[in-house]
Structure 1
Amino acid sequence: MAKKVDKPIRDHIIGREEIRTTLLRQLRETNRCRDILRMGSHAFLELCAKLRATGHVKDTIHVTVEEQVARFLYIIGHNVKNRTISFFFHRSGETISRNFHAVLRADCIGAIDGTHVRVKVPIANQPRFRGRKEWSTQNVLAACGFDMRFTYALTGWEGTASDSKVLKSALSRDDRLKIPRGKFYLGNAGFMLKHALITPYRGVRYHLKEFAGREPENAYELFNLRHSSLRNVIERSFGVLKKRFAIIAGGTEPYYDVEVMVDIILACIILHNFLMGVDPDQHLISQVDRELQNNNPEATNEEREEVNEDYRRGAALRDNMAAQMWADYQIER
């Protein structure tokens, strides 16, 4: 009676290495890279070179930097578990987890806004994290330039925290949001007006769809129209960020706890900035633009304005800009 003889362990190892080598070669040499890793092969290889140069992500005896980065990008791009990625790359779950965290450690001005990212927290903490959404979220404050790259991000605030409260923290903490003297960001009506953060006029048409087929009728409407057109860059940036990386898109509860998700969000923002420089993906940006144009704008969380010197300076600056815009607009008509 014949006996079944298993292949030697070494043969199994060689077979797995061949599979991994084939997978990585296909990512580098075919057009599948963008579908799998959310970036083109040139951007992927450049990212790997930059990470290898920092020394934070290193080749090991069995795992290259390219494989570590590819696995990390696949996890955040498709929101899959370690056990899923270990199947495709034929690695143990423990190895995947270790490499995933290693990559995390790798390391007008614009507009500012908050966005909510779903988190997993203990039942006792859920009331603090359940704000405008039906599920627990963290409120992420971010600022970006008009090139759609983020210039600042503050993560970890519970979902019940208002954008204004998170902004106060961002402006007062040690690693604070720094706004150059004489410059300002654009913010929505949920923020308090300041000389360094200009918000729109309330009670006046603001969203772009409201001006369709109807020109602005006064200085306040003209200011709000142009404010909305420029501030739209932060919504576009958030939209592209979440489309690239499904792990922060909020469809399902994340597999990682809130502390790890804080690092994941920052890593996604860093990768987004890198890709906007080397592989912006105009198709993805156009898709986000179409969705923003068709979707109804979210209601802003309006708060009572604190009338102080900072508010008065911001109001005076806004009124001066609105008056100048209107005067120029009247001449051009």
Structure 2
Amino acid sequence: MDPSYCRRSKSEDEFALYVLPTLGEHSYSSRRPMHTSILTGARRVNEILNGHEDLCKRHFRMETDIFQALVQKLRENDRLIDGRDVSIEEQVAIFLYALSKNATNDTLADWFQHSGQTISYYFGKVLSAITELYSVYIRPSSLHPHPILSKEKFYPFFMDCISAIDGTHISLKLPADEQEPCRNRKQTLSQNVMVACDFDLKFVHVHAGWEGSASDARVLQDALNHGFQVPPGKFYLVDAGYANTPQFLAPYHGTRYHLQEQGRARQRPRNYKELFNLRHAQLRNHIERIIGILKMRFPILRVASHYSVTKQIDISVASCVLHNFIRLHDGDFSWPENTTVEIDQEQFVDVPSGDHNYHNDIHAFNYSREAGNQKRDYIAQQMWAQICITKISEYVIFYPSSTTIHGNQKRDYIAQQMWAQICITKISEYVIFYPSSTTIHGNQKRDYIAQQMWAQICITKISEYVIFYPSSTTIHGNQKRDYIAQQMWAQICITKISEYVIFYPSSTTIHVLEI
């Protein structure tokens, strides 16, 4: 921006210096200019953009080059135009400074040396221009699986997952007669905003404006009624505040879920439900991070602002647009999490983080819950089966049966066969994927056949490789050492089998979702 750009023209200065003093004292006092600082808004903005890189982050919440890119984007198609006294750079700076500091109109007028009417006018112009970019920067997720889903712990179980959804509460300031519907369970005032984001930390949908008393599931249902769609065969990850359906997979209720809970337990998942919840939390963790970054970058979202209700709602949407714009321009996402917010923390409003449970309040979701539970069980059981098969192949490997054996080796061979029989018995008890009475179709039938074939290989391998000594054998010297070592190894194998090879007893009745 041209540093010579000034708010007042030369003729205006001459009027203030020579014409006004000739008026009466009372007339001069009533019309005396208020904003007369030599540090005009234009010069202040120019100093920030050409100063230390942290100044732009501190005041405008983004890097200088991204600020300039935003100005250029808003200049396109005349979304914004330079005013007589206020350039586009200064217009954008006014808006971003307000989001950064929750600055009042009077504070902005003093900081940028413009009248309150001018500040209000350009704040509204920039807000409208940025919200109009919603369809440009907030777009549905790609239908191609994200590379993170190709990791062994997620593949192929989450290949149809395209994003995650959550509800976040953003503070509202309302007239007294409009407050009750927006009073949340913490008895503060907020709007409940549904956001969906992809695995690249970008928002793909934002549905704002619902009262803070509304459930997350109700806001999602309203979003579906107003254009939000789930592509056929795909699904989103949601938390426990939503119904578990084929399109929106939630974690198992009553089972450890959050990564902090998993860490405090200090043990591996003990069953398929805990394993599913762990993987679900690992994938969905990014949406909690993106919401945290958004509110740290734009602190106005954490306090009751000074604008009309309509503008407060638009600010939440515009903030998401700006977040995506910064992300697409490789902005730094680490500093908002570590920076100091320049707003008195007493102004922060305590709002809920989202619903902890689904309240069965949406009939459209209730009809799909059984199908959702079957889909979740199928995915969870397949993940658990993969771990069990991997662990068997890792731990049950000793000596090949093709070895020529004589004397003591023959005794060893007999002992080994006895041990193999025990292992085979254990596997036949626990490695049950589907009971034989279950009707299975399509991919499930193929999986069932493949799993039985793999189980057969595992049983064969155990009979080939598990070699020990019977307890009645008299052993000396090196054999005694070998015996002790083999018994210790046997203990590990037995422990691992008992930990991982547990599915359903054959008497369990399970329902299979036909795909």
**TM interval, short-chain normalised:** 0.7 to 0.9
- Per-residue CA shift, 1:276-309, capped at 9, x if unaligned? 1214323236549xxxxxxxx8771332386855
Residue 328 of structure 1 aligns with which residue?
386
Matched, 1:303 2:359: yes
Residue 370 of structure 2 aligns with which residue?
312
Residue 206 of structure 1 aligns with which residue?
257
Instruction: Give, in whole Å, the separation in 2 of the partners of 1:258 and 1:14.
Output: 29
Residue 22 of structure 2 aligns with which residue?
none
Instruction: Give, in whole Å, the separation in 2 of the partners of 1:271 and 1:199.
Output: 29
Residue 183 of structure 1 aligns with which residue?
234
Matched, 1:172 2:195: no
Find the residue that maps to 1:109 and give its secondary structure.
strand
Find the residue that maps to 1:112 and give its secondary structure.
strand
User: Which residue identity lines up with residue 262 of structure 1 in the other structure?
Assistant: I
Instruction: Give, in whole Å, the separation in 1 of the partners of 2:37 and 2:78.
Output: 27
Matched, 1:19 2:72: no
Structure 1: gaps (5+ residues): 1-6, 289-296
Matched, 1:233 2:254: no
Residue 291 of structure 1 aligns with which residue?
none
Residue 300 of structure 2 aligns with which residue?
247
- Per the normalisation by structure 2, the TM-score is 0.58
Match of 1:84 among 101, 104, 107: 107
Structure with more relative contact order (C-alpha pairs < 8 Å, separation 6 or more):
1
Contact preservation (8 Å) 2:168, 2:193: yes
Instruction: Give, in whole Å, the separation in 1 of the partners of 2:164 and 2:379.
Output: 17
User: Which residue identity lines up with residue 377 of structure 2 in the other structure?
Assistant: D
Distance 1:237 1:9, change over 3 A: farther
Residue 161 of structure 1 aligns with which residue?
214
User: Which residue identity lines up with residue 119 of structure 1 in the other structure?
Assistant: L
Instruction: Give, in whole Å, the separation in 2 of the partners of 1:54 and 1:179.
Output: 32
Contact preservation (8 Å) 2:240, 2:355: no
Structure 2: gaps (5+ residues): 1-12, 18-32, 133-160, 340-352, 392-515
Q: How does 1:1-333 map to 2 (within 5 A)?
A: 8-9=14-15, 19-30=40-51, 31=53, 32-106=55-129, 107=132, 108-173=161-226, 176-212=227-263, 213-250=266-303, 253-284=304-335, 287=338, 300-304=356-360, 310-333=368-391
Residue 294 of structure 1 aligns with which residue?
none
Instruction: Give, in whole Å, the separation in 2 of the partners of 1:165 and 1:227.
Output: 22
Find the residue that maps to 2:205 and give its secondary structure.
strand
Instruction: Give, in whole Å, the separation in 1 of the partners of 2:298 and 2:366.
Output: 41
Contact preservation (8 Å) 2:184, 2:213: yes
RMSD: 2.4
1:17 positional shift: 7.3
- Per the normalisation by structure 1, the TM-score is 0.88
1:321 positional shift: 1.1
Instruction: Give, in whole Å, the separation in 2 of the partners of 1:97 and 1:229.
Output: 43
User: Which residue identity lines up with residue 166 of structure 1 in the other structure?
Assistant: V
1:152 positional shift: 0.8
User: Which residue identity lines up with residue 316 of structure 1 in the other structure?
Assistant: Q
Distance 1:280 1:226, change over 3 A: farther
Contact preservation (8 Å) 2:127, 2:318: yes
Contact preservation (8 Å) 1:119, 1:257: no
Contact preservation (8 Å) 1:195, 1:314: yes
Q: Percent of aligned pairs with the same residue?
A: 39
Instruction: Give, in whole Å, the separation in 1 of the partners of 2:259 and 2:308.
Output: 38
Contact preservation (8 Å) 1:121, 1:258: yes
Contact preservation (8 Å) 1:33, 1:41: yes
- Per-residue CA shift, 1:17-38, capped at 9, x if unaligned? 7633432222222221111101
Distance 1:56 1:201, change over 3 A: same
Find the residue that maps to 2:179 and give its secondary structure.
helix
Instruction: Give, in whole Å, the separation in 2 of the partners of 1:23 and 1:129.
Output: 39
Contact preservation (8 Å) 1:247, 1:254: yes
Instruction: Give, in whole Å, the separation in 1 of the partners of 2:387 and 2:355.
Output: 29
Contact preservation (8 Å) 1:112, 1:141: yes
Distance 1:145 1:82, change over 3 A: same
User: Which residue identity lines up with residue 303 of structure 1 in the other structure?
Assistant: H
1:97 positional shift: 0.5
Distance 1:298 1:259, change over 3 A: closer
Contact preservation (8 Å) 1:179, 1:196: yes
